[in-house]
Amino acid sequence: MTRKQRWVLLLAIVAPLALVGAAVGGLYWLREWDRHPAPDSGRPGSWMTVTSEFVMEFSRVRPPASAGEVHWAYQKGFQDDSAYLSFRLPPGEEERFLADLKMTVKPSFENRVDSSALTGFQRAGAPDPKAAGPLREGSFLAEPLPGHNKRLAATVWLAAEADGGTRVWVDAGDSP
Model pTM score? 0.73
Query: Taking phi first (over 0 means left), then psi (-120 to 50 degrees means alpha), and beta for anything else, what does residue 31 get?
Result: alpha
Q: What is the pLDDT of residue 143?
A: 76
pLDDT, the chain, mean: 80
Same domain membership, residue 95 and residue 141: yes
- Residue 98 pLDDT grade (very low, low, confident, very high; cuts 50, 70, 90): confident
Q: What integer is the mean pLDDT of 65-72?
A: 90
Same domain membership, residue 137 and residue 51: yes
Same domain membership, residue 134 and residue 91: yes
Q: What is the pLDDT of residue 167?
A: 93
Distance CA 47, CA 73 (A): 7
Same domain membership, residue 141 and residue 88: yes
Q: What is the pLDDT of residues 78-92, one digit of tens each?
A: 778 889 999 999 998
Same domain membership, residue 68 and residue 8: no
Q: Would the CA dihedral through 77, 172, 69, 64 be positive or negative? A: positive
Q: Is the pLDDT higher at 33 or at 167?
A: 167
Angle, CA of 101, 107 and 108, to the nearest 5°: 95
Q: What is the pLDDT of residues 15-63, one digit of tens each?
A: 777 676 666 666 655 555 555 556 655 666 767 788 888 888 888 888 9
* 41 domain-assigned: no
What is the four-CA torsion angle of 88, 62, 65, 133, rounded to 10 degrees?
-10
